[in-house]
Structure 1
């Protein structure tokens, strides 16, 4: 796996816990994606990614570059 886990939330401590857990998974990089309000964009991107993976019978994922 070579992908990012985009993490949204309004509770800084909860985001730290999730970031720590995600960081322990090989090939998974946690990325702070802002407040919980941003989660709706992640949900839409997830639906798109699922559709792409179905169409191409693939295992595509998201990787944020430049940070």
Structure 2
């Protein structure tokens, strides 16, 4: 997770190969203050094998 407005990494997670099996990766990140910043999910991929991203779901912390 990357804050493209101020150039900071908010969270980072390694993705390991799954041999075409669909897996779920869940991780938590916090925004210190919600603002109109542009947030991005970035993938660094070496192109050695296929890469598929099926969906991204964002949920708020319901306290």
TM-score, structure 1 normalization: 0.25
Greater percentage in strand:
1
Structure with the greater alpha carbon radius of gyration? 2
